[in-house]
Amino acid sequence: MNPQLEKIWMKVQKPGRYTGGELNSVIKNKEEVDIRFAFCFPDTYEVGMSHLGMKILYGVLNDMEGVWCERVFAPWIDMEEELRSAGIDLYALESGDSLSLFDIIGFTLQYELSYTNVLNMLELAGIPLLCSERKGLEHLVVAGGPCACNPEPLADFVDLFFLGEGEEVDCELIELYREYKKKKGRKEDFLREAAKIPGVYVPSLYHVSYQEDGTIQAIEPEQGVPSKITKRVMMDLDSIYFPDRFVVPYLDIVHNRAVAEVLRGCIRGCRFCQAGFIYRPFREKSVSTIDKQCRDLCENTGYDEISLSSLSTSDHRNLNPLLDQLLTWTKDEKIGVSLPSLRVDNFSTDMMSKIKTVRRSGLTFAPEAGTQRLRNVINKNVTEEQLMKTVETAFRGGWNSVKLYFMIGLPTETMEDIEGIAELGQKVVDAFYTNPDKPKGKGVSVTVSASGFVPKPFTPFQWEPQDTVEMFREKQKHLVNCVKSRKLSCNYHEAVVSFLEGVFARGDRRLGKVLLEAHRLGCRFDGWNDCFSYTKWMQAFENCGVDPAFYANRRRSFDEILPWDHLDYGVTKEFLIRECKKAYANETSPNCAESCSACGAACFKGGICVEDRKNLV
């Protein structure tokens, strides 16, 4: 490590974010390494280190001969200042080497509001931001993660994107890179070749033209590159790589525990939820695989808590046998098992008793909308009756704090739906007091949390206009006014933040210059309240002559060419249109375990799409 770094660490808050040296971090001999890969998480250490995808790929890449994958996080404001004033580049935690010494710089894109951090991190290592300014093969900038399903706003900066799950495609790309590095090939040739790898999208090989009204006229691939890029999916979860150890931070991070992945995809098809569509099809890991992976992780990390992670863990059809299996050894080893999210419809006392050993941080449920009508529109198939039954069970079990998540600004929403949020919250409060078995001597606290709906690509709502900032604020105000009890509290997200997210979620390449301008104006950590500056962002849009409302608040027609139309995540446009029309008619759709809605993801030939539905839930 650069001895100068030490002096800086002494001056910043939480130096543990920047020192590396944690248990299980991978140190390799540089002599034996020919490809250096910087895995960059464009947020703080604490957030990034909690992310399962990063742990998986860190393990996959470091398992490759001759490849050394290191971690890089966005330095917090104080550290950034120190680095800049000392003239030290942003560095990777394992070696302390500047990001500029790496062959491949890979970003994971978890949320749109981290895009300015991507630019800032490159700049902090003196790496040219624009692909066109990085002529050589070195500093290849790549990115993956959920936001890669519409990567267009980043097309100017990122040489290539990985679509879908990275376990295989990342390695294939690295092998190709190694070949080109060895023969000192040209970047253009490499990219052309890379574009042939399934799941790799090279934006510079696709040309976008626009019509007079600003919508897209055509997206044209260059000769010899595929016209559609299909995401990669790992079909057999029992045979894919899973790390047997995690890097264990010294610092207390967001999720400081062992995390087992129990399934991928989701059967539900909630119409607002991008994850529910882009990760299809639903695939489960077997109980024995999960059990083994949990044991290894606990053995190698010393964690005393295991979280069973996925989009909807309680949809695992063998959840109860799994919990029983885990309990056979976790009890003796004083390890607690927790579920990150609970569903309203299958929450039971039995299950509660199995996960009870874990700290009781209060329960959270997500009805998402305040009225049954609107819940049908979004296909969130949870009834009020189920919710009430669940909270009653919880109250009987000793819980007295419940948090309910909702969205405002959903398609077809009226003020009545907003009132429904407060009413539902109130009913939960009332349920506590009418419960004869309520915990003695305790009051209840119910929180309704309302976030602004952001229409996302590859969902049935991808054509919807987002509520304007004014509309959001009016609805927030109305919600607050509807809350009558002191036992019920209410919080909501900043409308301007949802708006910006909305712009970038469905943005196109023309937002690249806005991003660059916002970066120039000093925007970073936009997802953090203390850093986000709406004024600067609006300035950036104005300076570039780009109207953000064009992206966020405009209704798109079904036949408009969308910026992500050349990317294929399995789900077809026809299906999404069908779902959108059903939404307008307040009609729900069955989940994949009940029956197949022919969404298109069956093209991957696996998971629930090919299973016999008779013995499913």
The binding site for ligand SF4 (CB under 6 A) comprises 280-281, 592, 596-599, 601-602, 608-609
Which of other proteins, ligand SF4, none does residue 280 bind to, with CB < 5 to 8 Å depending on kind?
ligand SF4
Which of other proteins, ligand SF4, none does residue 281 bind to, with CB < 5 to 8 Å depending on kind?
ligand SF4
**Nearest alpha carbon to residue 254 among 43, 12, 559:** 43
Tokens of 579: 């779902």
Smallest distance from other proteins to CB 388, Å: 35
Smallest distance from ligand SF4 to CB 593, Å: 8
Measured distance CA(301)–CA(23) in Å, rounded: 8
Which of other proteins, ligand SF4, none does residue 15 bind to, with CB < 5 to 8 Å depending on kind?
other proteins
Which of ligand SF4, other proteins, none does residue 592 bind to, with CB < 5 to 8 Å depending on kind?
ligand SF4
Q: Give the nearer residue to ligand SF4 in terms of CB position, either 411 or 570.
A: 570
Residues that bind other proteins (CB under 8 A): 6-7, 9-10, 15-16, 19-23, 25, 248, 250-252, 299-304, 334
Which of other proteins, ligand SF4, none does residue 334 bind to, with CB < 5 to 8 Å depending on kind?
other proteins
Smallest distance from other proteins to CB 356, Å: 15
Specify whether the backbone of 571 is left (phi greater than 0), alpha (psi in -120 to 50) or beta. beta
Smallest distance from other proteins to CB 384, Å: 40
Residue 96 dihedral angles phi and psi, to the nearest 5°:
75, 5
Which of ligand SF4, other proteins, none does residue 609 bind to, with CB < 5 to 8 Å depending on kind?
ligand SF4
Smallest distance from ligand SF4 to CB 599, Å: 3
3-state SS class at 3: helix
Q: Give the nearer residue to other proteins in terms of CB position, either 111 or 250.
A: 250
Which of ligand SF4, other proteins, none does residue 534 bind to, with CB < 5 to 8 Å depending on kind?
none
Q: Give the nearer residue to ligand SF4 in terms of CB position, either 551 or 575.
A: 575
For residue 62, give Cα distances in angstroms to 28, 104, 145, 239, 243. Answer: 9, 14, 19, 18, 11
Q: Give the nearer residue to other proteins in terms of CB position, either 14 or 536.
A: 14
Smallest distance from ligand SF4 to CB 53, Å: 21
Which of ligand SF4, other proteins, none does residue 7 bind to, with CB < 5 to 8 Å depending on kind?
other proteins
Q: Where are the alpha helices (DSSP H) in 450-553?
A: 469-482, 495-505, 512-520, 534-544, 548-552
Please list, in sequence order, all residues whose beta carbon lies within 8 angstroms of the beta carbon of residue 62, skipping any fewer than 6 positions away.
Answer: 26, 28, 68, 69
Q: Give the nearer residue to other proteins in terms of CB position, either 22 or 474.
A: 22
Smallest distance from other proteins to CB 18, Å: 8
Q: Give the nearer residue to ligand SF4 in terms of CB position, either 549 or 596.
A: 596
Measured distance CA(127)–CA(130) in Å, rounded: 9
Q: Give the nearer residue to other proteins in terms of CB position, either 260 or 580.
A: 260
Contact (Cβ atoms closer than 8 angstroms) between residue 93 and residue 24: no
Q: Give the nearer residue to other proteins in terms of CB position, either 250 or 405.
A: 250
The helix/strand count (H/E) of the chain reads as: 20, 19
Q: How many CB atoms lie within 10 A of CB 575?
A: 19
Smallest distance from ligand SF4 to CB 381, Å: 14
Which of ligand SF4, other proteins, none does residue 602 bind to, with CB < 5 to 8 Å depending on kind?
ligand SF4
Q: Give the nearer residue to ligand SF4 in terms of CB position, either 147 or 601.
A: 601
Which of other proteins, ligand SF4, none does residue 10 bind to, with CB < 5 to 8 Å depending on kind?
other proteins
Smallest distance from other proteins to CB 20, Å: 6
Place of tokens 């929403």: 413
Q: Give the nearer residue to other proteins in terms of CB position, either 253 or 342.
A: 253
* Total residue length of the chain: 617
Measured distance CA(268)–CA(282) in Å, rounded: 9
- Strand 200-201 versus strand 160-162 pairing type: antiparallel
Measured distance CA(117)–CA(42) in Å, rounded: 5
Contact (Cβ atoms closer than 8 angstroms) between residue 231 and residue 198: no
Please list, in sequence order, all residues whose beta carbon lies within 8 angstroms of the beta carbon of residue 39, skipping any fewer than 6 positions away.
Answer: 54, 57, 58, 61, 69, 70, 71, 72, 106, 108
